[in-house]
């Protein structure tokens, strides 16, 4: 029974692959210049997609970067000019038109701001309003709030800083036409620091970044993003149980299995599973056992990025 369910799940997943592999994922990054938009997107993808500028603003106007990860195409749109102090209403309209003509769809939107700022700046508020106006209130459904430079706040002040800053930005978003607090309060927030693996609470932030992006990405972007990230989430050894590793010939050399680039906690795994469930067969909520025996061999037989994704599902449900 469970195996039949798993088989159905696998077939539904595979049926979605041809369309998924053709999709180009569009990420829209909003935030003042130098706040770490490019560094954060590069950290998530594990490669240099957007240019990182050390001393000068590297991006002016609407800047778009195209890249590819495991066969999935990405477009990252950087909009620093959006947060520059725009003086005239005319420039607003121009920027709006420019964005609308360049961006036809958004799969994931990031609002990026340094954690150690104490208030929402006027240029940030302007940007929030402009984005909402350009793409409509629905754009916030795919949004996440990212606070950079997390370690500029002490461990003691960190939880409160994260909470307060999140509230303030959500409030600013809520004020936009047709948005409101109900929608704004659903927007997840997290803190990152590209200068370190961890945030002041001692947690690794990369897994949280992946999880939040994945939980908010557009419906059409879910499987493509999962395919692109599968190799980063699961190293060849990470899915194996310790007993399996011990019995392999070079057990001593493999005593500590290679870690995946992005590690997930149990909580994060649960959130990822929920999203996969909802996007493959809504309402099925597949039981754990049984998936491994169907997905494991199927993933190994296929190999490549898709095999890795199928293997990853087996591991997530293990």
Ligand X SMILES: Nc1nc2c(ncn2[C@@H]2O[C@H](COP(=O)(O)OP(=O)(O)OP(=O)(O)O)[C@@H](O)[C@H]2O)c(=O)[nH]1
Q: Give me the residues that bind ligand X (CB under 6 A), please.
A: 31, 33-39, 52-54, 57-59, 78, 80, 148-149, 192-195
Cβ nearer to Mg ion, comparing 78 with 208: 78
Total Cβ atoms within 10 A of residue 289: 11
Q: Under a CB-based contact definition with an 8 Å cutoff, are residues 80 and 32 in contact?
A: yes
Could you please report the per-residue DSSP string of 94-159?
A: HHHHHHHHH-S--SEEEEEEETT--S--HHHHHHHHHHHHHH-GGGGGGEEEEEE-GGGS-TTTHH
> From Mg ion, ligand X, none, which one binds at residue 193 (CB under 5 to 8 Å depending on kind)?
ligand X
Q: Which is nearer to Mg ion, 34 or 260 (CB)?
A: 34
From the list ligand X, Mg ion, none, partner contacted by residue 33 (C-beta under 5 to 8 A by kind) = ligand X
In the complex, the smallest distance separating the C-beta of residue 191 from ligand X, rounded to whole angstroms, is 9
Do 135 and 96 form a contact (C-beta atoms < 8 A)?
no
We find the least distance from the C-beta atom of residue 162 to ligand X, in angstroms, to be 14
> Which is nearest to 55 in space by CA: 70, 34, 25, 39?
34
CA–CA–CA angle 192, 272, 202 (5° rounding): 30
- Residues in the interface with Mg ion (CB under 5 A) total 4
Residue 59 binding Mg ion, by CB under 5 A: yes
Name the binder of 142 from ligand X, Mg ion, none, CB < 5-8 A by kind.
none
Backbone angles phi, psi at 70, to 5 degrees: 50, 45
Does position 38 interact with Mg ion (CB under 5 A)? The reply is yes
Nearest residue (CB) to Mg ion, 53 versus 307: 53
C-alpha distance from residue 238 to each of 75, 135, 254, 315 (Å)? 30, 41, 11, 9
Complex with Mg ion: residue 59 or 75, whichever CB lies closer? 59
Closest separation in Å from C-beta 78 to Mg ion: 5
Q: Identify which of residues 153 and 272 has a Cβ nearer to ligand X in the complex.
A: 153
Taking CA atoms, 167 is separated from 117, 172, 208, in Å, by 13, 9, 19
| Min separation Cβ 177 and Mg ion, Å | 28
Is the Cβ–Cβ distance between 2 and 292 less than 8 Å?
Answer: no
Nearer Cβ to ligand X, position 33 or 108? 33
How near is the Cβ of 114 to ligand X at its closest, in Å? 8
Q: Residue 75 touches which of ligand X, Mg ion, none (CB < 5 to 8 A by kind)?
A: none
Q: Is 79 in the site for Mg ion (CB under 5 A)?
A: no
Minimal CB distance residue for Mg ion: 38
Binding piece for Mg ion, criterion CB under 5 A, among 74-82, 143-151, 209-217, 306-314: 74-82
- Closer to ligand X at the Cβ: 209 or 291? 209
* Range 174-193, binding Mg ion (CB under 5 A): none
Residues that bind Mg ion (CB under 5 A): 37-38, 59, 78
């Amino acid at each position: 029974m469970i195996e039949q369910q798993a088989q159905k799940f696998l077939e539904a997943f595979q049926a979605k692959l041809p369309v998924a592999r053709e999709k180009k994922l569009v990420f829209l990054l909003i935030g003042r210049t130098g706040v770490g938009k490019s560094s954060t997107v590069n950290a998530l993808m594990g490669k240099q997609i957007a240019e990182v500028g050390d001393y000068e603003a590297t991006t002016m106007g609407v800047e778009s970067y195209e890249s590819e990860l495991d066969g999935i195409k990405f477009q990252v749109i950087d909009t620093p000019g959006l947060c520059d102090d725009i003086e005239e209403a005319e420039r607003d309209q121009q920027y709006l038109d420019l964005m609308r003509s360049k961006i036809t769809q958004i799969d994931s939107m990031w609002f990026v701001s340094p954690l150690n700022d104490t208030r929402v700046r006027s240029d940030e508020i302007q940007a929030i309003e402009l984005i909402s106006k350009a793409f409509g209130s629905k754009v916030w459904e795919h949004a996440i709030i990212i606070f950079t430079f997390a370690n500029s706040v002490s461990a003691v002040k960190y939880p409160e800083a994260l909470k307060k800053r999140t509230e303030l930005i959500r409030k600013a978003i809520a004020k936009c036409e047709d948005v409101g607090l109900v929608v704004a309060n659903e927007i997840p927030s997290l803190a990152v620091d590209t200068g370190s693996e961890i945030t002041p609470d001692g947690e690794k932030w990369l897994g949280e970044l992946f999880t939040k992006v994945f939980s908010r990405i557009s419906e059409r972007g879910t499987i493509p993003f999962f395919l692109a990230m599968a190799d980063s989430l699961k190293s060849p050894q990470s899915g194996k149980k310790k007993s399996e590793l011990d019995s392999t010939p070079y057990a001593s050399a493999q005593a500590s299995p290679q870690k995946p680039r992005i590690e997930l906690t149990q909580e994060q795994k649960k959130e990822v599973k929920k999203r996969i469930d909802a996007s493959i067969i809504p309402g099925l909520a597949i039981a754990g056992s049984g998936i491994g025996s169907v997905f494991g061999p199927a993933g190994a037989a296929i190999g490549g990025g898709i095999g890795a994704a199928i293997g990853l599902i087996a591991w997530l449900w293990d």
